[in-house]
A = this chain, B = another copy of it.
Amino acid sequence: MITETTPGATVIKPDVPYKPRRTWRNLFIGNPLSSADAHKQTIGKAVGLAVFASDALSSTAYATQEIMIILAAAGSAALGYVFPISLAIVTLMLIVTISYEQTIHAYPDGGGAYIVARDNLGEIPAQIAGAALLTDYTLTVAVSVSSGVAQIMSAFPHLLPYRVLIAVGLVFLVMLINLRGVKESGVTFAIPTYFFVAVMFITVLTGLVRHFTGTLGTVVNPPAPLVEGALVTVTPFLLLHAFSSGTSALTGIEAISNGITAFKEPRSRNAGITLIWMSAILATLFLAISFLVIPIGAVGSDSETVISQLARTVYNGEGAMYLAVIAGTAIILIMAANTAFADFPRLSALQANDGYLPRQMTFRGTRLVFSRGIVSLAVLASLLIVLFQASVTRLIPLYAIGVFLSFTLSQAGMAHRWWKSGHLKPEQEIKEAGSTIRYDRRWMTKLVINSLGAVVTFIVMMVFAITKFKDGAWIIILLIPTIMMAFLAIHKHYKSLADKLSLEKFTSARPYSRQRVIVLIAGVHRGSLAALAYARALSQDITAVYVSIDQNDAEKVRDKWSIYGEGVRLVILDSPYRHLIEPIMLYIEQILQQRKPGEMLTVVVPQFVPSRWWENLLHNQTALLLRFSLLFKPGLVIVEVPYQV
Contact = CB atoms under 8 A, between A and B. Distances in A.
Contact of A525 (B20, B363, B502): B502
Nearest to A497: B645
Contacts of A11: 548, 554, 571-572, 574
A35 B576 contact: yes
Contacts of A574: 11-14
A8 interface: yes
Interface in A467-517: 490, 493-494, 496-497, 500-503, 506, 508-512, 515
Which interface residue of A508, A533, A618, A631 has the most chain B CB atoms within 10 A?
A618
A10 interface: yes
Nearest to A604: B637
A441 to B, nearest CB: 37
A577 B636 CA distance: 35
B503 A570 contact: no
A619 interface: yes
Interface string A264-304: 00000000000000000000000000000000000000000
Interface in A508-567: 508-512, 515, 523-527, 529-530, 532-534, 536-538, 548-550, 554, 558-562, 564, 566
B533 A9 contact: no
Nearest to A621: B360
Interface in A618-645: 618-620, 627, 630-634, 636-645
A34 B632 contact: no
Contacts of A537: 511-512, 515, 538, 600
B638 A640 contact: yes
Contacts of A364: 578
A530 B635 CA distance: 10
A561 B9 contact: yes
Contact of A506 (B526, B538, B566): B526
Nearest to A37: B576
Nearest to A539: B537
Contacts of A639: 637-640
A637 B602 CA distance: 13
Copies in the assembly, this chain:
2
A566 B280 CA distance: 64
Contact of A14 (B500, B583, B619): B583
A192 interface: no
A358 B618 contact: yes
Given A14-B583, A577-B32, A582-B20, A6 B558 contact: yes
Contacts of A523: 501
Interface string A571-587: 11111111100110011
B538 A538 contact: yes
A512 B530 CA distance: 11
Contacts of A178: none
Contacts of A607: 631
B577 A20 contact: yes
Nearest to A352: B618
Given A558-B6, A582-B20, A641 B631 contact: no
Contact of A501 (B503, B510, B526, B558): B526
Which interface residue of A538, A577, A641 has the most chain B CB atoms within 10 A?
A577
A35 B552 CA distance: 13
A248 interface: no
Nearest to A506: B526
A84 interface: no
Nearest to A566: B508
A526 B507 CA distance: 10
Contacts of A529: 503, 506, 508-509
Contacts of A619: 358-359
Contact of A637 (B13, B363, B493, B642): B642
Contacts of A572: 9-12
A354 to B, nearest CB: 14
A502 B564 CA distance: 12
Contacts of A81: none
A512 B220 CA distance: 91
A20 to B, nearest CB: 5
Nearest to A642: B631
A43 to B, nearest CB: 26
Which interface residue of A32, A501, A569 has the most chain B CB atoms within 10 A?
A501
B533 A509 contact: yes
A366 interface: yes
Contacts of A627: 627, 640
Contacts of A508: 529, 566
Contacts of A44: none
B573 A615 contact: no
A32 B615 CA distance: 30
A519 to B, nearest CB: 12
Given A500-B526, A536-B511, A637-B640, A35 B618 contact: no
A327 interface: no
A36 interface: yes
Contacts of A8: 558-559, 561-562, 570
22 contacts: A9-B561, A11-B571, A12-B587, A14-B575, A14-B583, A36-B576, A358-B618, A359-B618, A493-B615, A493-B618, A501-B525, A501-B527, A503-B526, A506-B564, A509-B529, A511-B533, A512-B533, A512-B537, A534-B600, A632-B642, A637-B639, A637-B640
Given A14-B574, A358-B618, A634-B642, 5 more contacts: A11-B572, A12-B587, A359-B618, A365-B578, A509-B529
5 closest Cβ contacts across the A-B interface?
A: A509-B533, A501-B525, A34-B576, A9-B570, A13-B574
